[in-house]
C-alpha cells in the first residue's frame, strides 16, 4: 500500500488522546474498519476538528507509516454532514445505534456494509422523525442478513414448523431463530421475549426482497413496530456479544 492514499469513509467514532489529538475509526468500502489519528483535531483551530466527527462522510486523505503500521489523517473532504440527523434527537440516537453496531459487529463485505450504512443515513437524514423507528429496524435487519445471522422468517427455529400467514413468531433473547408460539411458551422465558406480528414479519420480508428505498416506505402499525424494534435491538446486541452503549443511552427515545 502506498504511504499516501485516499479512500471514501464514514466516521464512526472519536476518542481523545493527549490534549488535542483525536483517534478516529471510520468505515471504508475498500478497507473495512480503519483506525487513524487526526493530530491536533481537538485544538480550537485544528482544520480537521469538525470534519472528523462521527457521521461525517467524504474522502479521507491518509499517510501510512510503514514501520509502525499506523495511519494519520492528513485531510478530509467532508461531503455529507447529515445535518438533518444532528438536528433531531430521535434520528441522532438511531444513527448512533447504526454506527456502534457496525463498529462492534463488522466482519462481512466492506463495500456492502458501507453502501447499506450510507443509503440508510441518507434516508434518515431526509425523512421524518416518525420514519426513524422503521429505518432503525430496516438497517439492522439488512445488516443481520449481510452478516449471515438473520433468523428465518418462514420456519420455527426450534421445531421447524412452517409459519402460516396469520401466525405470530417470537424472538427469545439469545436464541437463534424466531420461534412459533408453542415453542416460545414451552421455553418459559417470556420476560425476555417479544412477539413479532404477521405485519412485522411481512415488513422484514419486504426488507429482504425489495430495494432499500422501496422497503423504507412500507408502513407498519405502532404495536407491531414496537415488538419489531425491540427484537432488532436485541439481535444487534446478540451479534455484538455485548450491550451496546448507544442503545442504553437512547432508552426511551429509540
CB of 221 to Zn ion, least distance (A): 25
Name 179's bridge partners: 170
| Cβ closest to Zn ion, residue 22 vs residue 158 | 158
| Cβ closest to Zn ion, residue 159 vs residue 253 | 159
| Cβ closest to Zn ion, residue 49 vs residue 173 | 173
CB of 192 to Zn ion, least distance (A): 17
Q: List residues binding Zn ion (CB under 5 A).
A: 156, 158-159, 180, 183
Handedness of CA 202, 204, 210, 215 (dihedral sign): positive
| Cβ closest to Zn ion, residue 180 vs residue 201 | 180
Q: Which helix (H) or strand (E) holds 71?
A: strand 70-80
Q: Which helix (H) or strand (E) holds 193?
A: strand 193-196
List CB contacts of 222: < 8 A, sequence separation 6 or more.
none
CB of 171 to Zn ion, least distance (A): 13
Biggest alpha carbon–alpha carbon distance for the chain: 62
Distance of alpha carbon 38 from alpha carbon 16, whole angstroms: 10
CB of 157 to Zn ion, least distance (A): 7
| Cβ closest to Zn ion, residue 118 vs residue 153 | 153
Instruction: Please count the CA atoms within 13 angstroms of the CA of 184 that sit on its side-chain side.
Output: 20
Distance of alpha carbon 142 from alpha carbon 124, whole angstroms: 15
| Cβ closest to Zn ion, residue 158 vs residue 230 | 158
List CB contacts of 207: < 8 A, sequence separation 6 or more.
137, 138, 141, 142, 215, 218
Q: Which helix (H) or strand (E) holds 64?
A: strand 57-65
CB of 181 to Zn ion, least distance (A): 8
CB of 156 to Zn ion, least distance (A): 3
Amino acid at each position: 500500500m502506498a504511504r499516501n492514499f485516499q479512500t471514501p469513509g464514514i466516521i464512526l467514532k472519536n476518542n481523545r488522546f493527549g490534549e488535542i489529538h483525536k483517534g478516529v475509526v471510520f468505515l471504508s468500502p475498500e478497507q473495512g474498519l480503519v483506525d487513524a489519528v487526526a493530530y491536533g483535531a481537538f485544538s480550537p483551530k485544528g482544520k480537521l476538528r469538525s470534519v472528523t466527527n462521527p457521521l461525517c462522510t467524504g474522502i479521507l486523505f491518509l499517510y501510512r507509516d510503514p514501520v509502525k503500521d499506523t495511519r494519520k489523517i492528513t485531510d478530509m473532504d467532508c461531503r455529507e454532514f447529515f445535518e438533518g440527523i444532528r438536528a433531531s434527537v430521535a434520528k441522532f440516537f438511531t444513527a448512533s445505534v447504526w454506527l456502534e453496531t457496525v463498529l462492534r459487529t463488522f466482519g462481512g463485505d466492506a463495500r456492502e456494509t458501507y453502501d447499506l450504512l450510507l443509503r440508510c443515513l441518507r434516508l434518515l437524514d431526509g425523512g421524518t422523525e416518525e420514519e426513524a423507528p422503521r429505518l432503525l429496524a430496516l438497517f439492522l435487519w439488512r445488516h443481520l442478513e449481510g452478516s449471515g445471522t438473520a433468523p428465518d422468517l418462514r420456519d420455527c427455529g426450534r421445531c421447524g414448523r412452517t409459519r402460516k400467514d396469520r401466525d405470530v413468531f417470537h424472538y427469545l433473547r439469545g436464541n437463534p431463530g424466531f420461534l412459533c408460539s408453542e415453542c416460545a411458551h414451552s421455553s418459559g422465558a417470556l420476560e425476555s421475549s417479544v412477539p413479532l406480528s404477521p405485519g412485522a414479519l411481512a415488513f422484514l420480508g419486504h426488507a429482504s426482497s425489495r430495494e432499500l428505498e422501496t422497503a423504507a416506505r412500507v408502513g407498519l402499525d405502532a404495536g407491531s413496530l414496537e415488538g419489531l424494534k425491540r427484537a432488532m435491538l436485541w439481535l444487534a446486541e446478540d451479534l455484538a456479544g455485548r450491550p451496546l452503549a448507544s442503545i442504553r443511552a437512547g432508552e426511551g427515545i429509540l
